């Protein structure tokens, strides 16, 4: 009977990378539901729990939970040496994963029906290398950010809030061939040229990322032309303002009532500032090109990796 059940299960090796921090109070229920879903549909799978700044009590409870299932699957526990960003932690888990398909859970909170885990896999089997599962509702700050990002991005697929993502090994290999190290995974996945599908569910996702503003700024600068356009427009605006000052200076001189030395001083200042802002506009353009050509390596620090 068990052999027949195993034959009906999917043969692809599945990895699940789960981010855990001190706010992951419901991680026990999350792991139970995830394990139940994986065991029902897949013959070979692993779970990689990435622990970021959790206390000793939660660490012991998590070890105890994972050890209950250690006989039936491969489980790894990554302890980050110091508290780091969610993106860095998830990159550490993805580098350790070996699955043909990898689930990325940015939170260990059960905010969705775990049947969506299987639905995402079925969608991938229809030709999608990336499947993102998103809530139908977003908070106002997320809507503003994603609207700004999508309007300045050349990606084929718009970004939105998601609960988890399923990505194929081919897509992960493409990511590492295009980028030194992804700083914002969602932006990278939408820009690598592979098919991306979206599944929706009723509900919302709470993003507890502490440095959301910093990540938003970095993402806009690295993966869109927002920073370049803003800098160039500001530099051109200031250049026009100084040229207007130069015109005003000339008008006062031709009117015949300038203060002695005022015309010369203002002419030098306005022409000098015009040149400065013109140079800044050129520098901003070059810096944007350099950033896109040589993205800084996103490093992470791991304290230990334990096979449970």
Contacts of residue 278, defined as CB under 8 A and 6 or more positions apart, other chains included, come to 235, 239
Quote the CA–CA distance of 276 and 124 in Å, as a whole number: 52
pLDDT score recorded for residue 240: 78
Quote the CA–CA distance of 80 and 51 in Å, as a whole number: 6
Q: What is the pLDDT of residues 63-82, one digit of tens each?
A: 777 666 654 567 788 888 88
Q: What is the pLDDT of residues 241-296, one digit of tens each?
A: 777 777 777 777 777 666 666 666 766 677 777 777 777 777 776 776 666 556 54
Quote the CA–CA distance of 113 and 90 in Å, as a whole number: 22
Contacts of residue 47, defined as CB under 8 A and 6 or more positions apart, other chains included, come to 15, 16, 18, 31, 34, 35, 38, 66, 73, 74, 75, 76
Question: Is-contact 25 59, C-beta < 8 A?
Answer: no
- Return the number of other C-beta atoms located less than 10 Å from residue 32's C-beta: 15
Q: What is the pLDDT of residues 90-126, one digit of tens each?
A: 988 999 999 999 999 988 877 678 889 999 999 999 9
DSSP annotation string for 177-203: HH-SS-SSHHHHHTTSSS-EEEEEESS
Q: What is the pLDDT of residues 280-293, one digit of tens each?
A: 777 776 776 666 55
The CATH number corresponding to 12-224 among 3.40.640.10, 3.90.550.10, 3.40.250.10, 1.20.120.400 equals 3.90.550.10
Contacts of residue 272, defined as CB under 8 A and 6 or more positions apart, other chains included, come to none
User: Structure tokens of 25?
Assistant: 């109070």
User: Structure tokens of 222?
Assistant: 């690295």
Could you tell me what percent of the chain has a pLDDT over 70? 79
Quote the CA–CA distance of 279 and 264 in Å, as a whole number: 23
Q: Is 271 exposed, middle or buried (0-12, 13-18, 19+ CB in 10 A)?
A: middle
Quote the CA–CA distance of 157 and 84 in Å, as a whole number: 28
pLDDT > 90? residue 16: yes
**Among 125, 118, 209, 116, CA closest to 161:** 209
User: Structure tokens of 271?
Assistant: 């022409």
E strand map for 112-190? 130-135, 164-168
**Among 129, 140, 156, 119, CA closest to 37:** 119
Q: What is the pLDDT of residues 190-215, one digit of tens each?
A: 888 889 999 998 877 776 566 677 77
Q: What mean pLDDT, rounded, does the chain reach?
A: 78
Could you tell me what percent of the chain has a pLDDT over 90? 15
Quote the CA–CA distance of 91 and 185 in Å, as a whole number: 9
- Identify the band that residue 169 occupies on the pLDDT scale cut at 50, 70 and 90: very high
- 3-state class of 306 per DSSP? strand
């Amino acid at each position: 009977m068990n052999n027949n059940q195993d034959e009906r299960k999917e043969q692809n090796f599945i990895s699940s990378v789960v981010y855990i921090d001190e706010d992951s109070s419901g991680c026990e229920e999350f792991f139970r539901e995830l394990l139940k879903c994986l065991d029902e549909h897949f013959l070979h799978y692993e779970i990689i729990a990435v622990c970021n700044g959790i206390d000793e009590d939660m660490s012991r409870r998590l070890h105890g939970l994972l050890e209950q299932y250690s006989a039936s699957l491969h489980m790894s526990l990554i302890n980050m040496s110091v508290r780091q960003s969610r993106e860095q932690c998830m990159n550490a888990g993805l580098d350790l994963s070996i699955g043909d398909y990898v689930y990325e859970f940015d939170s260990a909170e059960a905010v969705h029906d775990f049947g969506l885990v299987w639905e995402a896999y079925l969608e991938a089997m229809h030709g999608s290398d990336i499947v993102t599962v998103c809530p139908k509702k977003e908070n106002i700050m997320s809507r503003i950010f994603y609207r700004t990002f999508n309007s300045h991005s050349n990606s084929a697929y718009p970004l939105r809030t998601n609960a988890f993502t399923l990505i194929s090994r081919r897509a992960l290999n493409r990511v590492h061939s295009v980028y030194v190290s992804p700083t914002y995974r969602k932006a990278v996945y939408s820009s690598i040229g592979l098919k991306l599908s979206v599944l929706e569910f009723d509900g919302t996702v709470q993003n507890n990322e502490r440095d959301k503003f910093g990540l938003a700024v970095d993402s806009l600068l690295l993966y869109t032309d927002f920073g370049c356009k803003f800098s160039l427009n500001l530099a051109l605006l200031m250049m026009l303002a100084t040229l207007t000052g130069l015109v005003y200076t000339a008008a006062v001189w031709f009117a015949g009532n300038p203060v002695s030395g005022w015309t010369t001083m203002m002419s030098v200042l306005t022409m000098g500032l015009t040149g400065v802002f013109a140079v800044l506009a050129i520098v901003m353009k070059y810096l944007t090109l350099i950033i896109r050509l040589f993205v800084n390596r996103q490093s992470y620090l791991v304290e230990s990796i334990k096979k449970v």
